[in-house]
C-alpha cells in the first residue's frame, strides 16, 4: 500500500498552444502511453479544446460563472453547475464559450479500452462517510474546506486543492469534513 499527499507546488503548469489558458497537470501515469491524467485548467477566453484521440474525459466546473461546450454534432452542454461531472470523448471537436469571465475546471482523462474513471463529488460533514477504494489507483481531491481522510488507522488532513493518492489498497476509506461546506472528489481509476 502506498499513500501520499500531492500539493499544488507539485503541479506541472503549461500554457496552451492557442493562448486561451493554462493547464496545471496534477498527475499523469508514467507509462509510455499514459492510462490516466488529472489536471486543472484555467480558461481565460473562448476557443477550441485540444483533441485527445482515444481518450475519455470527465470535466467539472470548479470556479467562475460557467461555460458552454459546443460539440461538432450540434450538441450543446452548459457547464454552469459547479462541481458536477460531465463525461465526453476527447476525440470529439469541442468549442468552449465562457459565460461571464474566466473559469477553472477539473479534468480526469483515461485511455479508452485500457482504463476508466469513476468520479464522485462528495459533500462532507463531521460525520464520517465510507468510500470504497479499489482499482489501479484512487484519488481524493479536496475541493473546498478541510477534509479528513482515514484509512487503516492512518489519518490525512487535506486542505483545498490538495490530493490524497492511494495505491494498492481495497479497505474502506472514511471521509469527513472539518469545516462547514467541505467538499471532495473521489476518483477511482480502474484498468480493463
- What domains sit in the chain, N to C, each tagged with a CATH number? 9-111 (2.60.120.10), 115-191 (2.60.120.10)
Residue whose C-alpha is closest to residue 122's, from 158, 74, 73, 69? 158
- Angstrom CA distances, 40 to 14, 133, 153, stand at 11, 23, 31
Span 4-62, pLDDT tens digits: 999 999 999 998 866 778 999 999 998 778 999 999 999 999 998 888 999 999 999 99
Question: ∠ at Cα 92 (88, 98), nearest 5°?
Answer: 75
pLDDT tens-digit series, residues 105-130: 999 999 999 999 999 999 999 999 99
Amino acid at each position: 500500500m502506498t499513500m501520499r499527499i500531492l500539493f499544488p507546488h507539485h503541479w506541472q503548469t503549461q500554457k496552451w498552444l492557442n493562448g486561451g489558458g493554462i493547464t496545471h497537470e496534477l498527475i499523469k501515469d508514467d507509462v509510455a502511453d499514459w492510462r490516466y491524467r488529472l489536471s486543472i485548467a484555467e480558461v481565460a477566453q473562448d476557443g477550441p479544446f485540444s483533441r485527445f484521440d482515444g481518450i475519455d474525459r470527465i470535466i467539472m466546473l470548479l470556479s467562475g460563472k460557467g461555460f458552454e461546450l459546443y460539440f461538432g454534432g450540434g450538441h450543446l452542454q452548459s457547464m454552469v453547475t459547479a462541481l458536477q461531472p460531465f463525461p465526453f470523448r476527447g476525440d470529439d471537436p469541442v468549442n468552449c464559450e465562457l459565460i461571464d469571465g474566466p473559469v477553472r475546471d477539473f479534468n480526469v482523462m483515461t485511455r479508452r479500452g485500457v482504463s476508466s474513471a469513476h468520479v464522485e463529488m462528495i459533500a462532507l460533514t463531521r460525520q464520517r462517510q465510507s468510500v470504497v477504494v479499489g482499482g489501479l489507483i484512487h484519488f481524493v481531491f479536496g475541493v473546498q474546506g478541510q477534509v479528513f481522510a482515514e484509512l487503516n488507522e492512518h489519518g490525512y488532513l487535506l486542505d483545498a486543492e490538495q490530493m490524497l493518492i492511494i495505491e494498492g489498497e481495497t479497505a474502506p476509506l472514511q471521509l469527513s469534513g472539518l469545516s462547514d461546506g467541505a467538499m471532495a472528489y473521489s476518483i477511482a481509476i480502474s484498468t480493463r
